[in-house]
Amino acid sequence: MLEYINDPNDIKRIQPEDYKLLAKDIRRFLLKNVSRTGGHLASNLGIVELTMALHLVLDFPKDQLIFDVGHQSYVHKILTGRKDGFQNLRQFHGMSGFPKRKESNCDAFHSGHSSMSLSAALGMVAARDINHTDETIVAVIGDGALSGGMAYEALNNMARLRKEKKNLMVILNDNKMSIAENVGGMSAYLNKVRTKKEYVEFKGNVEQSLMKIPGIGRELTTIIKKSKDLIKQLFVPGMYFEDMGITYVGPIDGHNIPLMVDTLNRAKQLDEPIIIHVVTKKGKGYRPAEQNPAKFHGISPFSLKTGEVLKKSDNPSNTAVFSQTLIEEAKKDKTIVAVTAAMPDGTGLGKFKEHFPDRFFDVGIAEQHAVTFCAGMASRGLKPVFAVYSTFLQRGFDQVLHDVAIGNYPVIFGIDRSGLVGADGETHQGIFDIPYLSMIPNVTVMAPINGRELKEMLKDALHHAKGPTAIKYSRGEALSLYEDQFEELHYGKGQVIKEGSDAVIIGVGNIFDEADQAVKILGEEGYNIGLVNPRYIKPFDKEMILDLAGKYDKIITVEEGVLNGGFGMMINEFLSENDYKGKVRCFGIDDQFVEHGSVSELRKMLKIDGESIADSIRQWMKE
């Protein structure tokens, strides 16, 4: 059936009796391609029929469809004529795994982080009315994303649309999961709703017709409306959305295409906001993904037959080192607690939960709350560790600054996926953490170059933190580079790995292996280049930097992050203030967002790989 889907809206030419065949073909297509390239699988398998129904009702690119987070947009991409792009899904210069307006005008809004769709949709409704256009605007949000505070801010604002008689459709895609199993009050509420008898209501023109009855129309309408609301309370506990002024429909079967098409078509006719509660099964159609949707949320290339990842390393990841060290220390110290924002497996805290369920907290997709929650615990003598991806901690910036740093509370931030993360692209690259953390008073920022340093930095922070402490580490294997030269940690002090004479390279954290490679390449050509591990980004070792300034007339910094406000800029400014007469070169990422691709490909493109660094230094030496 996919042969007939080559352009937007082609699905409208498919006969209703063939919808099931098309859904089956789409699932086969997804499995074949994602097993080869890797990607977000379970969420896309679960949303096949729902996406088909939306495409049968909406007109692209006129109508606007916003996917919350966006990792579930693969079916939408197929149905808008991009199936050939799956050959290079999430590959360097290939098709993104998230919606991208620059990729297609059928993608209404770029996304990548959770709980944003309702706000974006409300903005589009405002623009529609100001521009006097008539497009239908739909936001698809998962039940997991409703644990994010931004979604509630939008819901609160959405209620005004009923008074203004403006339509906005929200599809609540309820699959009982975000990345891991959902937590919190909204999850419990939706569980209750699912257990009740199906409740679907459309007002149509009933109220208007009753109003026309002479003498008793208005009174009869009021009585019926009150009775209807009482009945509604019996069938749908709490009526949370209705009480906020948003019409609620559901729950309905998210795999029943005719039912969804009928529901969506009628919802389009309303002059008010409506939430359509759709229940789907994450991973549907592929047994391993149905049984373990968290594993197949985002997965590397895998065997279709067994469901097992094809490439596995025997070496521990940085995440695993962090997790194991935290468990070891928590066994000795009962004040250590761990917090995650809906990422227990991704951050390695799932194992901590197994050992210490009473000291583990999953707050849902709510990074802002997580940070202040940690501050509250730290204020009462606990040692909270918030393990979070670099890109997601950005959403808690104000809380780090205002609630943690001002009080100087010893909250430890395990910043996972710091630096380039690869295939997820612009929205997930952890390249901004040095500037946004280093600018905050009282915050300590550390960057290990190998697994041994990561372990010792966490242990040191747990027992000697002077205030908010961030330890940033990359995705993937923990390096063993220079572990044999490990020296005891001292607060704010770096380590000279190799002395030189021609120049010195200061390599920050996870990019240190590229700096080391550059030193070795240049060494083979006769250059004698020193190599330094700063360990501490803030406070950096001023005494050591001044010592280097006295020995070298050329100082190079290398970091896997943006240069603007980064480590190199801080060192350059410090040297300038101290009248350094030599020259400084800073290697990092210019003022830009970085697309998707493998880390090695991206480093080469950005000229921060070992060979590119060596080549630049070589040319510099000849000037």
Q: How far is CA 123 from CA 41, 117, 417, in A?
A: 30, 10, 31
Task: Say whether 167 counts as a known binding-site residue.
Answer: no
Strands (E), 33-164: 64-67, 137-142
554 classed as catalytic:
no
Instruction: Count Cα neighbours of 427 within 13 Å in the Cβ-side half-sphere.
Output: 18
Phi then psi for 433, rounded to 5 degrees? Answer: -70, -30
Q: Go through 234-255 and write b for each residue having 16 or more CB atoms within 10 A of its CB, e for each that does not.
A: eebeebbbbebbbbbbbbbebb
Task: Say whether 402 counts as a known binding-site residue.
Answer: no
Task: Say whether 552 counts as a known binding-site residue.
Answer: no
Task: Say whether 488 counts as a known binding-site residue.
Answer: no
Question: What 3-state class would DSSP assign to 395?
Answer: helix
State the Cα–Cα distance between residues 162 and 269, nearest whole angstrom: 13
Instruction: Count Cα neighbours of 221 within 13 Å in the Cβ-side half-sphere.
Output: 15
Catalytic one of 282, 383, 455, 475: 282
Inter-residue contact 418 to 472 (CB < 8 Å)? yes
**How many H-runs (helices) and E-runs (strands) does the chain carry?**
25, 17
Place of tokens 């205030």: 467
Instruction: Count Cα neighbours of 214 within 13 Å in the Cβ-side half-sphere.
Output: 0
Task: Say whether 198 counts as a known binding-site residue.
Answer: no
Task: Say whether 112 counts as a known binding-site residue.
Answer: yes
Q: How far is CA 191 from CA 10, 67, 150, 174, 175, in A?
A: 36, 23, 22, 10, 10
Inter-residue contact 592 to 429 (CB < 8 Å)? no
Task: Say whether 286 counts as a known binding-site residue.
Answer: yes
Task: Say whether 113 counts as a known binding-site residue.
Answer: yes
Inter-residue contact 182 to 345 (CB < 8 Å)? no
Q: How far is CA 596 from CA 106, 300, 336, in A?
A: 20, 15, 36
Task: Say whether 114 counts as a known binding-site residue.
Answer: yes
State the Cα–Cα distance between residues 58 and 108, nearest whole angstrom: 13
Q: Please give the structure tokens belonging to residue 519.
A: 């030193």
27 classed as catalytic:
no
Q: Please give the structure tokens belonging to residue 181.
A: 């199993």
The strand pair at 336-340 and 360-362 is best described as: parallel
Catalytic one of 367, 456, 514, 559: 367
For residue 618, give the H/E element and its range. Answer: helix 610-622
State the Cα–Cα distance between residues 366 and 386, nearest whole angstrom: 12
Catalytic one of 128, 284, 395, 498: 395
State the Cα–Cα distance between residues 295 and 299, nearest whole angstrom: 7
Task: Say whether 580 counts as a known binding-site residue.
Answer: no
282 classed as catalytic:
yes
Annotated binding site: 71, 112-114, 143-145, 175, 286, 367
Residue numbers in the known binding site for Mg(2+) are: 143, 175
Catalytic residues: 282, 367, 395
Binding site feature residues for thiamine diphosphate: 71, 112-114, 144-145, 175, 286, 367
